[in-house]
Every structure is written in C-alpha cells, then in structure tokens.
C-alpha cells in the first residue's frame, strides 16, 4: 500500500502496518474529510497522491490520549487560549491573568572567519550587531492558527514599521505522549545509502521523553502561501511527535502583514535579509523560554522557507539540525526559469524594474550556495521532488554538492512541488527520528559546532 516511486531512489514504500495504524486511530469519517480537503487544495493531482496527502493530513487530526483518558482531536483547542489536554506545557509559560510573560534573551550569532570572498560579502550583508532583547509569551485565544501560545520579539533587522518589525512565533506545545504512528521503522529510502553505514546522530540511544526534562524544539519556516498551510501542517504534526514547534511568521505574513510597505515596495534582498535575521534570532528567543532544551533546537523550512533556512543554517551552527524541503541553490536560475510561484516572483521583480544583470547582482547578495559550504553536512538533510518545476532538481543537486551532503542526506522522491505533500508523513517521521536521537543538554558534551560533536 502507498507505493509511490517504483523502486527509484527516494521515498518508496510506507509500511502497511503504519498506514493501518493511522486508519484505525482516525476512522473512516476523517478519511473522507481529509480527501475532500486535499482535493480542494491539490486539484489536478492523481488519486494516489490525493490519498497519500490525506493520510499525511490525518497525522494532524488524529486523536491522542487526554489527561482524563478521553480522546481529544488535535486542533480542537478551546477558545480560552489554554493548551489542549496532553500537552507538556511549562507552568512559567502560562501568561498570568492574561498578561504576557517576558523573558530576557540575547543574540548568540557567531559567524567566525571566512576565506571565500563571495561568501564573506554575503555574510557582511546578512548579519547584524549582536544585542539583547526581550521575548514575550501571550495566550493565543481566538488566533486563527490554532496554536497554544504566541511568542513575540523584535526583528534583528528592522524595516521601520512597528507591526512588521514585531516577529511572531506560533508556539505549538509538545505532546506529553507522542502519537504512536509517528514512531517506528522508516522507509528504506531514509536509511544510510551505504550498507552498514552508521549515522553519527542515530547511533546514540533515543531520549526517553516521558521523564521530566526540557524538550527539544523545532523552528518551522513556512512556504510562500499567505495561509502558511504547509508550515502549519509541519508544526502541528511535529508537535504530536513530542517536540515543541514554533512556526515563525516571515515579514509580510500573518500578524506582520501591513498596508504599507507592501512586499513589492521593498527591495527583495532586504526582505530576505530581514527574514534570515528573524529566523536566526528565533533560535535565541526559543532558547530563552521555559521547557525548552537550548542544546536541541532544530530548523525546518519548506520552499521559500527552505531557501531562508539554508542561508540561516549557513551563518553559524546555532541550530542543532537543519531540515530543508523543496529548495536548492542558484536562486537566479530558479527565479528566471521556474514556474508557478517562481514565475509570479519574476513578474513582480520585473514590474519593480529588476531584470537582467541588475537582478542577477541583487540576487547574488543572498545566493544560498555562496555560503552553503558552511552548513554542517552531518546535521543537514535535503528533501527534493524529482519532477519539481518550481525548484528544479538540478537546483537541489547543486545545493547538496555545495554543502557536501553525505549519502542519505539528500532524499529524492517522486512528484512535483505540490504533489510532494504525499511524502509528508515519512519526512516528518524522519525529522522526528533525528531530533529524538540527540541527547538532552545536561548529557551533551561540549562542542564548538554540531559538526564537531559528530566527530568520533
């Protein structure tokens, strides 16, 4: 069941037992609802892909045990702003009498030295002076996202608009008891490419998250859609796996949407610069919160979020692990020849007078592949769609080569930029396996970077 790629490299088969378990926990009504919703979102996709996407969506909606032993569907949070039953909510993260709680934080960005000229120029453009800042946590009552808390902190690279410069994180608090369907054996495509090869992260024993300890966290960077649908799908499902997730709203999205300036009224490279700075500072904001293990904060990004996350992960080893989906290198080639979202962006840039050599020079300042060699190969994973026409596979391969990703760290599956949602569930399972395999802060030996720690 759910055989997707006929034996080619990439995601091949989801075990029958896993699919059966999800079906048993959700029931037929949820299948029908998920298929209908998926059909509305992904018109034109084949029925097999629709079924795959529906099963992925059900990972968000499946029932989990509540404190009283009852089943509480994920996403059915009460309007009171309190977290759902079964979430591992730290007492100090609960706003007192509806008032936001504040926590002091500070930038830990340390780019170090850089020998390559273009990389050094990119770093000079993207970075900012480190400083101290406050992080506030407030209730999310009535927020359309369905998250448990809203976290805010000031942008590291302000644009001059109070609303735009107040970064917002949607906090999805970790489940005390992870959903069983998100654990277990992964498809063969996710195993190390060389027989018998051991990955430095997965050789450590899994952490027993049932013990009272700080949980790992993942910052999720959404795609370009205004609804941030895929980003929220990642955040909600990863939360069900027992980790705190924080979806960051990039400039001009969610609570940061403003009448003026509009995105097209700002230089594109400045929007990306602010996005990169906000995502990197988000790591330090999350580390300041209660219930978070500061040594186990990872980063995940999809499409637009993948390009931003690639750049953020290349600045310094602030994030423990980096998971990149449907993105690549050669931003200029993607924008000038890609379809759909890439074509729409190309049109907006042309309307702003950016094309030809001027466009190329502007994109050169934010080109991910210029600094991708700074990513930690041992703690970076890239997921690509073979028939992607928005971010062509050649772009992803270039990024993988620049980052020197080892075998098994660039996972290629069938589908395009949209039907890749059919592979959502195994990607989430793979991410959770890597995050869970790292040890809590009190057990982690000191290291200058995640790559250094992976050395024998």
Q: Write the pLDDT tens digit of every residue in 277-316.
A: 999 999 999 999 999 999 999 999 999 999 999 999 999 9
Looking up tokens 């994920």 gives 74
- pLDDT at position 77, please? 39
For the chain, what's the residue count? 456
Average pLDDT of the chain, as a whole number: 77
At 358, is the pLDDT very low, low, confident or very high (cuts 50, 70, 90)? Answer: confident
Q: Which domain holds residue 150?
A: 78-453
42 pLDDT higher than 70: no
Between 189 and 265, the more confident residue is: 265
Bridge partners (DSSP) of residue 171 are 149, 246
Question: Is 394's pLDDT higher than 80?
Answer: yes
Asked whether residue 229 carries a pLDDT value surpassing 60, the answer given is yes
H/E run at residue 307 = helix 304-315
> Which tens digit of pLDDT belongs to each residue from 86-102?
665 665 566 666 789 99
- Residue 213: predicted pLDDT: 59
pLDDT grade, residue 259 (50/70/90)?
confident
DSSP conformation class of 187: P
Question: Which phi and psi (to 5°) does residue 132 adopt?
Answer: -100, 150
- Helix, strand, or coil (residue 368): helix
pLDDT on residue 265: 81
Q: Exposed (0-12), middle (13-18) or buried (19+): which is 374, by Cβ within 10 Å?
A: buried
Residue with tokens 């219930």: 291
Provide mean pLDDT across the span 257-281. 90
Domain presence at residue 44: no
Would you say residue 265 lies in a domain? yes
Tally of domains within the chain: 1
The confidence score (pLDDT) of residue 263 equals: 77
Which residue is it, tokens 């200058």?
A: 448
pLDDT at 7: 34
How many Å apart are CA 338 and CA 327, to the nearest integer? 12
| Domain annotation covers residue 51 | no
| Predicted local distance difference test score (pLDDT) of residue 264 | 75
Q: Is the residue at 67 inside a domain? A: no
Distance (Å, whole) CA 289 – CA 284: 9
CATH of residue 183:
3.40.50.1820
Position 59 in a domain: no
Report yes or no on 18 lying in a domain: no
The closest alpha carbon to 396, from 418, 381, 407, belongs to 381
The span from the CA of 304 to the CA of 312, in Å, is 13
Residue 51 confidence class, pLDDT cut points 50, 70, 90: low
Find the mean pLDDT for residues 65-79: 33
Residue 398 has pLDDT above 70, yes or no: yes
- At residue 144, the pLDDT reads 86
Q: DSSP class of residue 420?
A: G
In a domain, 36, yes or no: no
Q: Per-residue pLDDT for 131 more than 90?
A: yes
Residue 447 within a domain? yes
**Are 408 and 191 contacting, i.e. CB atoms less than 8 angstroms apart?**
yes
Q: Who's near 455: CB < 8 A, 6+ residues apart?
A: 200
- Torsion, CA 284, CA 60, CA 18, CA 24, rounded to 10: 150
Q: Are 398 and 328 in contact (CB under 8 A)?
A: yes
The neighbour count for residue 258, using CB atoms within 10 Å, is 16
**How high is the pLDDT of residue 58?**
53
């Amino acid at each position: 069941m759910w055989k997707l790629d006929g034996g080619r490299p990439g995601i091949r088969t989801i075990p029958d037992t896993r699919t059966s378990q999800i079906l048993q926990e959700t029931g037929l009504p949820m299948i029908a609802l998920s298929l209908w919703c998926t059909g509305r979102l992904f018109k034109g996709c084949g029925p097999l892909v629709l079924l795959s996407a529906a099963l992925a969506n059900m990972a968000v909606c499946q029932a989990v045990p509540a404190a009283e032993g009852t089943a509480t569907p994920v996403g059915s949070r009460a309007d009171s702003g309190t977290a759902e039953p079964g979430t591992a909510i730290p007492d100090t993260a609960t706003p007192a009498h509806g008032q936001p709680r504040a926590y002091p934080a500070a930038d830990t960005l340390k780019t170090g030295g850089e020998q390559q000229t273009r990389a050094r120029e990119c770093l000079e453009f993207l970075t900012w002076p480190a400083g101290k800042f406050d992080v506030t946590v407030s209730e999310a009552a009535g927020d359309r996202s369905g998250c448990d808390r809203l976290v805010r902190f000031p942008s590291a690279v302000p644009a001059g608009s109070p609303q735009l410069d107040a970064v917002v994180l949607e906090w999805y608090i970790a489940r005390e008891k992870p959903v069983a369907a998100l654990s277990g054996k992964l498809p063969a495509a996710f195993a190390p490419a060389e027989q018998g090869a051991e990955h430095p992260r997965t050789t450590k024993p899994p952490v027993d998250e049932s013990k009272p300890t700080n949980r790992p966290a993942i910052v999720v960077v959404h795609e370009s859609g205004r609804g941030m649908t895929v980003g929220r799908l990642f955040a909600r499902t990863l939360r069900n796996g027992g980790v705190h997730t924080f979806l960051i709203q990039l400039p001009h999205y969610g609570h940061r949407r403003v009448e003026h300036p509009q995105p097209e009224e700002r230089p594109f490279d400045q929007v990306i610069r602010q996005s990169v700075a906000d995502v990197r500072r988000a790591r330090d904001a999350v580390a300041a919160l209660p219930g978070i293990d500061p040594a186990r904060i990872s980063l995940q990004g999809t499409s637009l979020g993948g390009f931003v996350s690639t750049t953020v992960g290349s600045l310094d080893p602030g994030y423990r692990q980096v998971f990149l989906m449907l993105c690549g290198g050669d931003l200029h080639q993607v924008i000038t020849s890609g379809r759909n979202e890439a074509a729409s962006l190309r049109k907006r840039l042309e309307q702003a007078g950016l094309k030809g050599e001027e466009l190329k020079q502007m994109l050169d300042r934010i080109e991910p592949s210029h600094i991708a060699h700074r990513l930690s190969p041992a703690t970076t994973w890239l997921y690509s769609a073979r028939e992607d026409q928005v971010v062509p596979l050649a772009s992803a391969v270039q990024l993988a080569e620049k980052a020197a990703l080892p075998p098994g760290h660039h996972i290629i599956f069938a589908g395009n930029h949209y039907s890749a949602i059919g592979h959502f569930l195994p990607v989430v399972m793979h991410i959770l396996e890597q995050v869970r395999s790292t040890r809590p802060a009190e057990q982690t030996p000191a290291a200058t970077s995640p790559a250094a720690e992976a050395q024998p």
